[in-house]
Structure 1
Amino acid sequence: MTQRFFNYLLALLLGSVAFSCGDEMQQTLQPTPSAFGRINSLTVVADSSLWMNGARDSVAYFFESPYIILPQPEPIFDVRHIEPGVLSSQPTFRELRNYLVLADLSDENSPATQMVIADLNDAKIQQVREEGFGSAVARNKWATGQQLVYLMGRNRQELLDGLSVTYPAVVKRIAERENERVKVTTYFQGIDRRLGDTVAVRSGARIDIPGGYELVPIDARDFAWLRKSTKGGSLNIMVTRVPYERQSQLTKEGLKEIRDQIGREYISSTLSNTYMKVNDSDLPLFTESTQLNGAFAIEGRGIWEMENDFQAGPFLSYLINDEADRQLVLIDGFVLAPGEKKRELMSELQQVLLTAEVQ
């Protein structure tokens, strides 16, 4: 009887422990949501009074400036403003990816100020009060994959002045994180090694070509054109090589000349007497010197158009100096997507072109 009672008590205790552990695990293993939101979207958290008194114009100027270069202006980020209270009243707003939190610390009753004080340590807040402006970064506050950039001023004017100085670093930080998302989207079908080999043979450059592209059938030894269909259009990659003859080839004019040459020779529409060319009359051709995987290159951004037709769109080019083989390699990505947004399409092409490496 005593043994039976002891066994019963032991089983009861074990059951109680098992139930308690299970309940505790259920509480501690609550899954953290994954942050969501469109690529290149930015949520600005600021009090309405601050937003209406200078912050809105500053944010628009610094974070909604045009993406270079598109036929129709599109901002570098899609910006949405919310007040701090929305984060509590509408929990979905706590699961977005990119936040810019603006706080004027002179307004102690400000919900944004109270949020910043609660989120950051006293030393950081004191530093801002002493120096006039400060910034901080937090990740995964409410969801995985999330980033919050805090900009704080001792007063409203010092906050706006600080924003005008620090915005390039903020833009770069957000853009780098978004580029990671673009890369995942770009290569979700993997890498087409066969097309990569074809590009290498014809151009002398190795490029990680994403799945989904097809080789346009053109009989050419030193040129390849790859195309991927999209909603209402296509993504296109062109590669070619020409002998290096003079330094002036590595200029804006040199890049334009080579691109126009292959456009005239290989790219046309369904109409007769049509060919692709750079249109630097309506919008400028922007170029700058850069390094691409260890090689000197000229980066070019501009608009292409089809002569004797009504097709046009943006392009991005890299003219690479292949010193070892005494040749220049042009890799170019262009979009044909009439009536569609083109910012993300160009970002996707850039992710591909940035993998280019001369052999």
Structure 2
Amino acid sequence: MSEFRSRIFLLSFALVLALTSCGSEEFQRTLQPTPSAFGQINSLVVVADSSTWKAGVADSVAYFFEAPYIILPQPEPIFDVRFITPERVVAEPTWGQLRNYVVLADLSDTDSPTTQMVLNDLSDDKIQQVRTDGYGTAVAKNKWATGQQLVYIMGKNHDALLTGFGKVYPGVVKRIKEGEDERMRVTTYFEGINRRLGDTIRQLSGASLDIPGGYVRVPLDTDDVVWLRKEVQGASLNIMVTKVPYEDKRQLSKEGLKEIRDRIGKEYVSSTTENTYMRINDTDLPMFTEATELNGAFAIEGRGIWEIENDFLAGPFVSYLLNDEAEDELVLVDGFVYAPGRRKRDLMEEVVQIIRSATVN
């Protein structure tokens, strides 16, 4: 009886060994967990062949994806872009574990590794549509890692690729930014929401604002202005909220926003040097404004550079002047950053996340 059991055990072991040996590569791939995508916020990887990259695509990528973020004292791109080839993704798997990819393919080059990748990833119908229309796009999720996005931009030949790139890039930028905005929101509020400070702002200004943990109220000799600050390594992030009576529609303009912000800066913000105050510097760099809507309220959005008069401090700001029709008031929600020697784009993105949570009654 024991000999019979031994034979059964050996037969079963041999069968399992044979099955795993025949499909060992697929078996191991099944057992290996899919990695999670990683990478800095607002980073982007462009995948293309070296020949395609050198034949004009690099210039287009720089123009469309590395345009300056509006507005900072020193230019910083909207995305931090890195270029790699498909061969490098295969050779160094870590390159396949990042979050955002744009794949640029010239389908006329059938020997191209990028073209081969696209042909393997997309349906025949999609490829035929690109060949018929001249260019096209497609989106894939989680190709090499969980939580990543690939945007394919394809042309039936090199010229069609460049033409298509110039037409579809606004939608591509918007799609990537929407994902990065969500990541930035998670980062901004990882310490939760400070309900107490939010209640203070609501009581004094009538506006509701989601204030992340880490911000504290700056003492002022008035309740007309609420100033919140968060200190991080090498930088100071600031939110200021105030309200003014609505008088006429001229206030809801570039000039109206500037007047209110400059008045608040002159009364409440200064450095340790005497006779200093904050003001908008729209001489060295322009202040950009546009009419918009924020959570159901008409608003004027302004972006520009602030500086301290009679001192050497400066930085970027973003302001929203909201029309609170119910209370016949205007609410200014302003955010500014002081970060000498540091990159400021992502710091400003955090401030924007907070300001865009503003609502008025």
Q: Do both share a fold (TM > 0.5)? A: yes
**Which amino acid in structure 2 is aligned with residue 185 of structure 1?**
T
Which whole-Å CA distance do the structure 1 matches of 2:116 and 2:3 have between them?
A: 58
Instruction: Name the residue aligned to 1:300.
Output: 302
The Cα shift of 1:30 comes to 2.8
For residues 154-192 of structure 1, the C-alpha deviation after alignment (integer angstroms, 9 at most, x for no partner) is: 110111001001111000111111111111111111110
1:159 aligns with 2:164: no
**Which amino acid in structure 2 is aligned with residue 147 of structure 1?**
Q
For residues 89-143 of structure 1, the C-alpha deviation after alignment (integer angstroms, 9 at most, x for no partner) is: 1111010111110000111111111111011011100111111001000011010
166, 191, 194: which one pairs with 1:192?
194
Instruction: Name the residue aligned to 2:149.
Output: 147
What value does the CA root-mean-square deviation take over the aligned residues? 2.2
348, 352, 361: which one pairs with 1:346?
348
User: TM-score by structure 2 length?
Assistant: 0.93
Higher mean C-alpha displacement, 69-78 vs 33-42: 33-42
Instruction: Name the residue aligned to 1:171.
Output: 173
Which whole-Å CA distance do the structure 2 matches of 1:35 and 1:272 have between them?
A: 50
For residues 275-321 of structure 1, the C-alpha deviation after alignment (integer angstroms, 9 at most, x for no partner) is: 11011111111011111111111110000000111100000000000
Unpaired segments ≥5 residues, structure 1? none
Structure 1 residues 318-333: aligned runs within 5 Å: 318-333=320-335
**Secondary structure class of the residue paired with 2:301:** strand
Which whole-Å CA distance do the structure 1 matches of 2:83 and 2:173 have between them?
A: 17
**Which amino acid in structure 2 is aligned with residue 307 of structure 1?**
E
Which whole-Å CA distance do the structure 2 matches of 1:180 and 1:14 have between them?
A: 52
**Which amino acid in structure 2 is aligned with residue 171 of structure 1?**
V
Change in CA separation of 1:305 and 1:133 when aligned onto 2, cut-off 3 Å: same
Moved over 4 A (4+): 4-21, 23-27
Q: How many residues align?
A: 356
Which whole-Å CA distance do the structure 2 matches of 1:85 and 1:26 have between them?
A: 23
Instruction: Name the residue aligned to 2:243.
Output: 241
Unpaired segments ≥5 residues, structure 2? none
52, 64, 73: which one pairs with 1:50?
52
How high is the sequence identity, in percent, across the aligned residues? 65
Instruction: Name the residue aligned to 2:287.
Output: 285
Which whole-Å CA distance do the structure 2 matches of 1:11 and 1:211 have between them?
A: 61
Which whole-Å CA distance do the structure 2 matches of 1:147 and 1:42 have between them?
A: 10
86, 91, 116: which one pairs with 1:89?
91
Instruction: Name the residue aligned to 1:223.
Output: 225
Which whole-Å CA distance do the structure 2 matches of 1:161 and 1:10 have between them?
A: 67
